[in-house]
Amino acid sequence: MAHTDSTTRQRPTSPHLGIYRWTITMATSIIHRLTGVALGVGTLLLTWWLLAAATGPDQFYIVQNFIYGWFGRLILFGFTWALCYHLLNGVRHLAWDTGWGFELKTATATGWIVVVLSVLLTLVVWVLGYHVFGEL
Amino acid sequence: MSLRTPLGRVRGLGSAKNGTAHWWMQRLTAIALVPLGIWLMASVVALVGADRTAVVAWLGRPVPAILMILLLTAGYYHLKLGLQVVIEDYIHSESLKLILQVLINFACVGLGFACVFAVLKIAFGG
């Protein structure tokens, strides 16, 4: 019986994150979940902004000061990228739901497209924010 | 007709007959959030540097007010569905899982309604 015990213990464990070679499909999946949680934090900022706008000038001034500070801008920049990424990769997920794009080549290509487009779109939004609508 | 309760069927790994509800609502809110998310980014860019008077004037108009309410209700619903799965996947203690599920439901519904109230208050005259 002791013999059965030791063989049971030494069975190979299933592969996990530390063993798999990183692929773009795996990375996009993990980032999708991470950006989803990050967007929850961003939504809290949007909620604070709306509640402050509804409450009064003093409260709104506090939020405004926070957002225009370096830390606020950093959060807002992250929020922009998370939104761009999650939105674009969400469309990729919706395409999968129709049965399109599951071939390895297609899934790899759309994964890279989503990553590149999310960065480009974020930069476009921030360049517009800085140069077209105000020089803050 | 089966006399087993829905809970009993689930425990016996049978179907409780609402397995697609979560999936369907996640997709439905996702589709809605694509145009609403783009609208949010465009609006925030247009509002760079705006003071409270400008923000209140903008949210006081019907279309931005309605879109903002739709964005936040669909957004908080989508967030609740997403966080629920994250908790189900990573939290293995049954009691902590239950507590967190209650908390994210309360938080998403509470904050969502607070946002709707804020927008309506502004829209109906500050």
Q: What's the mean pLDDT in A69-86?
A: 97
State the pLDDT at residue A67: 94
Which two three-digit tokens encode residue A127?
């360049």
Q: Does B33 touch chain A (CB under 8 A)?
A: yes
* Average predicted confidence (pLDDT) for chain A: 90
> Using CB atoms within 10 A of its CB, is residue A108 exposed (0-12), middle (13-18) or buried (19+)?
middle
Q: Across the interface, which of A80, A130, A133 has its CB nearest the CB of B41?
A: A80
Contact: B49, A133; criterion CB under 8 Å: yes
Rounded to whole angstroms, how far apart are CA atoms B35 and A20? Answer: 36
pLDDT at A134: 59
> Is the Cα torsion angle A121, A122, A124, A129 positive or negative in sign?
positive
User: Do B29 and B77 touch, CB atoms closer than 8 A?
Assistant: yes
Contact between B111 and B76 under an 8 Å Cβ cutoff? The reply is: yes
User: Do the Cβ atoms of B31 and A134 come within 8 Å?
Assistant: no
* Cβ within 8 Å, pair B44-A129: yes
Q: What is the CATH code for B25-123?
A: 1.20.1300
pLDDT computed for residue A21 by the predictor: 84
Q: What is the pLDDT of residue B57?
A: 96
**pLDDT over 70, % of chain A:** 84
Place of tokens 């999936």: B23
Q: Is some CB atom of chain B closer than 8 A to the CB atom of A30? A: no
State mean pLDDT over A45-50: 97
C-alpha B110: how far from chain center: 10
CA atoms within a 13 Å half-sphere pointing along the CA-CB vector of B46 = 11
Q: Which two tokens stand for residue A41?
A: 């934090």
Q: Please tell me if residue B22 touches chain A, with a CB cutoff of 8 Å.
A: no
Q: Residue A136 above 60 pLDDT?
A: no
The tokens of A50 are what? 């709306």
Mean pLDDT, consecutive 10-residue stretches, chain B (126 aa), reads 75 72 96 98 93 95 98 98 96 96 98 98 88
Mean pLDDT of A20-44: 95
Beta carbons of B65 and B119 less than 8 angstroms apart: yes
Q: What is the pLDDT of residue A12?
A: 67
Looking at residue B67, its pLDDT comes to: 98
* ipTM here: 0.87
Q: What does the pLDDT read at residue A131? A: 79
pLDDT in tens, B51-86: 999 999 999 999 999 999 999 999 999 999 999 999
CATH 1.20.1300.10 fits A22-132, yes or no: yes
Q: Which residues of B47-84 are buried (b: 16+ CB within 10 A; e: fewer)?
A: bbebebeebbebbeeeebbebbbbbbbbbbbbbbbbbb
pLDDT reported for residue A1:
44
Spell out the domain ranges in chain B: 25-123
Round the average pLDDT of chain B to a whole number and report it.
92
What is the per-residue pLDDT for B77? Answer: 98
Instruction: Return the half-sphere exposure (C-beta side, CA atoms, 13 A cut-off) of residue A15.
Output: 4
Q: How confident is the model at residue A20 (pLDDT cuts 50, 70, 90)?
A: confident
Structure tokens at A49: 């902004």
Interface contact flag, B40 A83, Cβ < 8 Å: yes
The answer, for A54 touching chain B at a CB cutoff of 8 Å, is yes
- The pLDDT assigned to A104 comes to 95
Average pLDDT over residues A29-51: 97
CB-based contact B27 A83, cutoff 8 Å = no
Q: What's the pLDDT score for residue B9?
A: 74
Measured between CB atoms, does B48 come within 8 Å of chain A?
yes
Distance in angstroms (rounded) separating the CA atoms of residues B114 and B95: 28
Structure tokens at A136: 């803050």
